[in-house]
Amino acid sequence: MLKIDNLHARVEGKDILKGLSLEVKPGEVHAIMGPNGAGKSTLGNVLSGREGYEVTEGSVLFEGRNLLELEPEERAAAGVFLAFQYPVEIPGVNNTYFLRAAFNAQRKARGEAELDSMQFLKLVREKLKIMQLSPDLLNRAVNEGFSGGEKKRNEIFQMALLEPKLAILDETDSGLDIDALKQVAEGVNALRSPERSFIVVTHYQRLLDYIVPDFVHVLAGGRIVESGDSSLALKLEEHGYAWVAEHGEPAGASA
Amino acid sequence: MNQPARTPFVAALADAPLPASGIAWLDQARRGNLEAFADAGLPDTRVEAWKYTALRALAQRSFAVGDAQACERVVDPSAWAMAGIDGPALVFVNGVFRGDLSVLDALPAGVSLQPLSRALVDEPEALRFAMSRHYREPGDAFARLNGAFATDGTVLRVAAGARIAAPLRVLSIGAAAGHDLAWHGRHLVEVGEGAELTWVEQHLGSGEQAHLATQLTDFTVHADATLHHVVLQQAGAGSSLVRRSHYRLDARARAHLHVLELGGLLVRHDLRAELVGDAAAFHTHGAFLPDGRQHMDTQLAIHHQARQTVSTSTWRGVASGRGRGVFRGAIVVNAGADGADASLGNKNLLLSAQAEIDTKPELEIYADEVKAAHGATVGQLDERALFYLRSRGIPQAQARTLLTTAFARAPFESLADAALREHIQQLLLARLPD
Ligand SMILES: Nc1ncnc2c1ncn2[C@@H]1O[C@H](COP(=O)(O)OP(=O)(O)OP(=O)(O)O)[C@@H](O)[C@H]1O
Ligand SMILES: [Mg+2]
């Protein structure tokens, strides 16, 4: 599904990703952990095509296509979804209107029939139930005045609606209370399928109790420095990232 | 002082014959205003109020006064059809009242609505105060022209206590003629004590004319009355339009103004409000969207003259192409206007490198216990918001339109009439296609 090879990326003249390689197969859940500033969000931004993130080396294939040459909206239509670490408030743009515009734009791009507002509302109601999100958030402007937790849940709600093939969740668990964390995890688990993959960026092992990953990676200094199964998260929780450096950092990876 | 050389603009109008009214005071006022116009000509950018709006190009053009064939001009009423709004309407084509296009039967009880041309015949004395004014400020060139040449317009009175639910409309339409015309509308609107009125002022025009119109409107809002004033400016693409609106608010009167500036090539709007009664409230909202080579200049001046008066102003500018926007928002709180509360905000969006917006909020406070806030910004579309929308699959052009429309629509969310709100939304969407 996703094959990242020796990815180097630069932001504002500063090298952030320095030879990152990662392969995600259909149906897999990969957790990425790592210290602040390691480049986790940068990876999400590069994968979803944000301007200002310059790829200087390496390649990213998504279902065999060169992902890096696609516009952000083309990536979305191809099935890439980024749940933002900091969802953006967009005053004046109604949430439902936005969701339908996004949903139909993706369908149009894929040559599928668009949904009218009745059909769309029906779909929205179904998905709302899954996420246990208050319907009046739909009548507000996108993320405007949403609480931190509401913003994060809104991201997962969008994911449930847009049904991407690859979802990148950037610290969706940060700032969530325990109940919301479970809801988010349930939302993700409900979407798990043999065709859908997830990259879950988190600082907390706790999320991984609910969303059990197939692989856990440590991203430090712009590359993956350690990979393992879900038990790696427990070790990190216990020993911290310093342990990785002593234990098994590949040569030349230290910043 | 040196007489300025007569520009083609001044030459064509200064020697035009004045309309004859047979009313001595009116003829005298017209003569006085025309003389003042001829003497001073058009203001240049050294006049503070015209600092950002150069009239050099206009000064080189000449206009014929009025349209003798205005009554035969063919215009398409579907141009001003509005879903959900079909109340009384006064229609002017090239400045001349068109009874055949207007809807004046079925006026609600308590409303008296007449074209000025008729009111001047029926009850000239009632118009004397407004119509005998001399305009003496530097920069009053267009008001002087209006004072000299205006023969038509609107006289509207709402009786005390009458609450008029359906909007009343005045439409000013520019139609192609053999040559460029100058015409002038004079409008007087009075809302009686405790009355309520929604007044929709529309400017429309076909693309192939380049007329000049001036519109001068006085609003008097008596104690405890409410005025909703909506301006939809879609004048012809080549036309010049200079408007001045005066508002006078008595005690506890409130006025809600919503202005959408879309059309015209050279557009100037002066808004002056005097809050003369205690606890009067004036709320202004507007958006101007200069595109191409359009120039739009809004000059807002609100005078708090009584205690506990309130004003809020929310204005947005969106400039694209080589469009140029100018906004000046002046709030003056006079001595004695204690407890006044004024806020003014003007946010602007530049959508192209050649677009320009100049904005200047001004605050003068001479009273005590006053709350005042003002701010202005000029910026580009929020890149983070743009990326957020695109990351969800919305194509770039559509995402830009979505954000721009949302930005421009914000001042109109407070518009009470849902049909008008929806109409404005449609106008914005049509203006900013995806
Ligand atoms: N737009 C930008 N402009 C300048 N620097 C940036 C930009 N985006 C990222 N960086 C820098 O790149 C580095 C990696 O940032 P990134 O957000 O990817 O870290 P992260 O691993 O997600 O950290 P956190 O765990 O705190 O979210 C940081 O030093 C950050 O300051
Ligand atoms: Mg991050």
Q: In the prediction, which pLDDT does A250 show?
A: 47
Give residue A126's pLDDT band: very low, low, confident or very high (50, 70, 90).
confident
Q: What is the mean pLDDT of residues B259-269?
A: 98
* pTM, full prediction: 0.90
Interchain proximity A91–B383, CB inside 8 Å: no
- The DSSP code for A98 is H
**Which residues 58-117 on chain A approach chain B with CB closer than 8 angstroms?**
71-73, 75-77, 81-82, 84, 87-93, 98, 101-103, 105-106, 109
Q: Which residues contact A111 (CB under 8 A, 6 or more apart)?
A: none
Query: Residue B3: what pLDDT?
Result: 57
What is the percentage of chain A residues whose pLDDT exceeds 70?
Answer: 96
Residues B418, A120: Cα–Cα separation, whole Å: 24
Ligand 1 centroid distance, CA of A236 (Å) = 21
pLDDT computed for residue A245 by the predictor: 66
Q: Convert the pLDDT of each residue in A144-180 to its tens digit.
A: 999 988 999 999 999 999 999 999 999 999 989 988 8
Residue B36 has a pLDDT of 96
Q: What is the pLDDT of residue A230?
A: 87
Residue B106 confidence (pLDDT): 85
Determine the pLDDT at residue A43.
97
Q: Mapped to the 3 state alphabet, what secondary structure does B42-103 carry?
A: CCCCCCHHHCCCCCHHHHCCCCEECCCCHHHCCCCHHHHCECCECCCEEEEECCEECCCCCE
Phi, psi of B258 (to 5 degrees): -130, 125
Q: Is any ligand 1 atom within 6 A of the Cβ of residue A143?
A: no
- Cα–Cα distances in angstroms (integers) from residue A42 to residues A51, B30, B382, in the given order: 11, 70, 19
What local confidence, expressed as pLDDT, does residue A249 receive? 47
- pLDDT tens figures, B115-137: 999 999 999 999 999 999 999 99
What residues in chain B have their Cβ under 8 A from chain A's Cβ atoms? Answer: 382-385, 387-396, 398-399, 402-403, 405-407, 409-410
Q: What is the DSSP string of A108-173?
A: HHTTPPPP-HHHHHHHHHHHHHHHT--GGGGGSEETTT--HHHHHHHHHHHHHHH--SEEEEESTT
Interface test with A, best of B380, B391, B412 (most A CBs within 10 A): B391
The model's confidence at residue A254, banded by pLDDT at 50, 70 and 90, is very low
Residue B343 above 80 pLDDT?
Answer: yes
CA distances from A93 to A89, A108, B83, B356, B361 (A): 9, 21, 23, 25, 27
Q: Which atom of ligand 1 is nearest to the CA of A38?
A: 21
Domains of chain A: 2-88+163-247 (3.40.50.300)
Give the helix ranges, DSSP H, for chain A. 40-48, 72-78, 95-109, 117-131, 148-162, 178-191, 205-210, 231-239, 242-248
Per-residue pLDDT reduced to its tens digit, A60-80: 999 999 999 999 999 999 999
- pLDDT in the model for residue A251: 40
Q: Out of A12-16, A56-60, A125-129, B251-255, which region has the weakest mean confidence (pLDDT)?
A: A125-129
Q: Can you tell me which residue has the tokens 């913003």?
A: A151
Other beta carbons within 10 angstroms of residue B107's beta carbon come to: 16
Would you call A88 and B395 a contact, using CB atoms and an 8 Å cutoff? no
- What is the band of B366 on the pLDDT scale with cuts at 50, 70, 90? very high
Tell whether A255 is within 8 A of chain B (Cβ).
Answer: no
Contacts 24+ apart (CB under 8 A), B36-41: B36/B134, B36/B135, B36/B136, B36/B140, B36/B144, B37/B10, B37/B13, B37/B141, B37/B144, B37/B145, B37/B148, B38/B10, B38/B14, B39/B3, B40/B4, B40/B138, B40/B141, B40/B144, B41/B4, B41/B6, B41/B7, B41/B9, B41/B10, B41/B141
| Interface contact flag, A90 B385, Cβ < 8 Å | yes
Instruction: Evaluate if residue B327 carries a pLDDT over 60.
Output: yes
**What would the mean pLDDT of B155-179 be, rounded to a whole number?**
95
Please provide the average confidence, as pLDDT, over all residues in chain B.
95
